[in-house]
Amino acid sequence: MKKQYIAILIFIFSVILAGCTSPEETIYEIIEASAQEEKVFEDQQKPIADLVEEEKNLFDEIIALGLKEFEQISTLSNNALENIDKREEHINKEKESISSSYDEFNKIVDEMEKIKDADLKKQAEDLKSIMDERYQAYEELYTANINVLAEDRKIYELLKDENLKEEDLLAQIEARNETYEKVKEANEKFNEATDKFNEAKLQFYKDSGLNITSEV
C-alpha cells in the first residue's frame, strides 16, 4: 500500500508540474522539436554538394572529349543521369524534413493565444509570420532545384544523341544556367529568412525570461 501511495503522489505531482508550464515554455519546446525535425535536411547538404561536384567533373570530362567520342560521352552521360537521380532523392528528403519541421512548428498557434503579455504575444505572432515566409522561401528553392535537375537531364539526353548539333547543346546549357541563377536567388532568400527567424527566436526566448542560449 505504501508503494502505491507514493506512486499516486508522484503522479499527482507530475500533473501539477505539467499544469505549471507556461505557454512561452511550451512554445520553446515546440520550436526546439521543430529544429530537430530539420536534422535530416541538414544531413543532406554534404551528399548533395558532393554529387554536384561529381556531376561537374563528369560534364568537364565530356566537354574535354569533344562531340566525336560518342561511346565514351554516352557512358559518361548515363553516369551523370544516375548522379541526377541521386540528387533528386536527397532533395526530396530535404523537402520531407522541412515539411515535418513546419508541421511541428505550427503547434505554437494554440499556445500563442494563451500568452497574457501583449508584447510577447505579438513576438510569437511575428515568429509565426517569419516561419511562414521561410517555408514559402524553401518551397521556391525546392521548385528551383527540381527545375535545375530537369534542365540537367536534358543536357545529358542530348549528349546521348549521335546527331547532336553544337548549337542545340549550347542553347540547352544556357537554359540550365538560367535555372541555376534562380536556385542561387531562392537559396539566398531562404538563408535570409532563416537568419531572421533565428534572431527573432532568441529574442523571444530572452524576453520571455527563459534564459536560453541555444545554438542557431
Residues spanned by the domain of 63 = 22-207
Condensed to tens digits (0 to 9), the pLDDT of residues 91-134 reads 999 999 999 999 999 999 999 999 999 999 999 999 999 999 99
Within 10 angstroms of residue 216's Cβ, the number of other Cβ atoms is: 11
Q: What is the mean pLDDT of residues 154-169?
A: 93
Q: At what angle do helices 45-65 and 118-159 cross, to 10 degrees?
A: 30
Judge whether 4 lies within some domain: no
Q: DSSP string of 125-149?
A: HHHHHHHHHHHHHHHHHHHHHHHHH
Task: Report the C-alpha gap between 25 and 33 in whole angstroms.
Answer: 12
Helix (H, G, I), strand (E, B) or coil at 163: coil
Res. 176: pLDDT tops 90: yes
* CATH number of domain containing 62: 1.20.120.570
Judge whether 14 lies within some domain: no
Q: How many domains does the chain have?
A: 1
Judge whether 213 lies within some domain: no
Judge whether 92 lies within some domain: yes
Judge whether 98 lies within some domain: yes
Judge whether 12 lies within some domain: no
Judge whether 215 lies within some domain: no
Residue 20: the pLDDT is 64
Residue 67: the pLDDT is 74
Q: Are 104 and 167 a contacting pair, CB within 8 Å?
A: no
C-alpha cell at 5: 501511495
Helices (H) and strands (E) in the chain, counts: 8, 0
Q: What is the pTM of this model?
A: 0.86
Condensed to tens digits (0 to 9), the pLDDT of residues 186-209 reads 999 999 999 999 999 999 999 998
Residue predicted with more confidence, 15 or 134: 134
Nearest to 185 by CA among 136, 135, 137, 130: 137
Judge whether 10 lies within some domain: no
Q: What mean pLDDT is reported for the chain?
A: 90
User: What is the percentage of the chain residues whose pLDDT exceeds 90?
Assistant: 81
Res. 7: pLDDT tops 60: no
State the chain's maximal CA–CA distance in angstroms.
Answer: 89
